[in-house]
Structure 1
């Protein structure tokens, strides 16, 4: 959408177009649609914009620092709130997986689950304030020797490629849950994949919680571009929920394709 006589770009619009300069097709598409509150294409145009830069640590499980960048395309891939996102599925990126792992470890910390096993991430409660060194050695090592974990291989239920990384986060969350304690390890593993309907529902919840947490961090942050674009995303979601997906005319579709090709 070209400027009207006497109109000026908002500062946030200027910054978005500056960040999109390496992708002139996306920049032009954003400029054309920058005022829209009903077209998903503006989210596609701004897919490379960084929405959140995170650096997370967990004191409960020693995993080191998990850090990365979350862009608009990552949020679109995670959320799947719009018809186009449900129709064309993509897998989440590596940085989104790191964010999810940090979230899950901190959920565990909040629940104070000191009897869970976490493979090489396990601390066996050594960092809990009321755990003595002797207690750590007994619960963390001797008990493992007496109550052997004899599972050698366990394969996850097959899922389409776009779901596998969320499936990984789901398994990490289950492994850190109370049911996966040393005493019932084999029984808990045998339960994996038995109720696929429940598994899919739990995976959807992970997507939902991660989306909410990312939104909260953006809202509480200082990045005005990220706040502006996320609010635009929410407005498009609300529009589609009330009016249904906006039908794109053949002329508009050709314009979008032309913009895309100019960046290839």
Structure 2
């Protein structure tokens, strides 16, 4: 009994030490000892962030599961190439993004689009990415906005999509994104600004149309105001300048 008690205590101490390890310490054990317990700990910590990243980059939640598994397999296969002074998260994000880029190239070669997902896929992604809101109406509105942003992101070139996903969904700092993508911080900043500008241009007419359908009286009033001011097109909502609407649209993402 005393032996079993000591064994149980050693096991508890081992697990406690494993859980308290940093990612880099766990990866060192994987690299030098092929420690499967340490590897399982890394998978548990990172599988959800990786799945989110792959889903937002490819627009396919099912394929994201496969890409996530491929990323962890790549981590184990390439464990000897991990630099001891490197940040594990930087290395992992880079591996996952490269797999996403490869998948997007395969999609393009087949002449497909990330937007070609079926309706069930669209609904799943819509529910997954939508912000939680307190009332059914507000929840539905949040889901619709989340779906619009998701689809708009998929229309951006991957160099803008990647920085927006890393910055505004995974909350990486500019310095961290620069390390992942191996580009200067200034380039990260400019890509974020350009990506948001492009996203706003894509979303603006969709949000205007959605608001018009939700509040037809407001749309009619705006149209009448446009006619009274001699506007060539009465459909523009002059009560919401483009710059302000752009900020409102960006809040959906941010």
Shorter-normalised TM range:
under 0.3
If asked which structure has higher relative contact order (CA below 8 Å, sep 6+), I would say 1
- TM-score w.r.t. structure 2 length? 0.25
Larger strand share, 1 or 2 = 1
Query: What TM-score does the superposition give when structure 1 sets the normalisation length?
Result: 0.24
More helix, by proportion: 2
